[in-house]
Amino acid sequence: MNTSKCRIKKDDKVKVIAGKDKGKIGKVLKVDRKKNRVLVENVNMVKRHARPSAQNRQGGIIEGEAGIHWSNLMLMCGKCLSPTRIKVQRLEDGKKVRACSKCDEIIDS
């Protein structure tokens, strides 16, 4: 059981490493830290039945992303262009940043 903390943040580019969308790459739309679930653009699309509303007068079936557990995702490093583990680095001024464990590229600016 992986008990490490979720280090994925909104707008990160991630790759899906497990589940039906394995191999897909997308941008993080939302992170739910309480549920440990991450919403990734065009990943884990599900159809929902919608009631008619102001935006959608007919109701019917709408498609949208459903959250997936962050442990099924890996961050894409923009420098080595591959999925990577995230390590936390402490800068000289004490600020903590996320960095690629492969090439040491700092992910947070």
Interface residues toward Zn ion, by CB under 5 A: 77, 79-80, 100, 102-103, 105
In the complex with Zn ion, which residue's Cβ is closer, 40 or 75? 75
In the complex with Zn ion, which residue's Cβ is closer, 30 or 79? 79
> Nearest to residue 45, comparing CAs of 69, 31, 62, 60?
62
Least separation, in Å, of the C-beta of 36 and Zn ion? 24
Long-range contacts of 84-91 (CB under 8 A, 24+ apart): 86/7, 86/8, 88/7
Least separation, in Å, of the C-beta of 88 and Zn ion? 15
In the complex with Zn ion, which residue's Cβ is closer, 28 or 39? 28
The torsion angles phi and psi of 11, rounded to 5 degrees, stand at 75, 0
Query: Residue 45 and residue 7: Cα distance in Å, rounded?
Result: 23
In the complex with Zn ion, which residue's Cβ is closer, 25 or 50? 25
Least separation, in Å, of the C-beta of 27 and Zn ion? 18
Least separation, in Å, of the C-beta of 17 and Zn ion? 16
Query: Residue 58 and residue 53: Cα distance in Å, rounded?
Result: 8
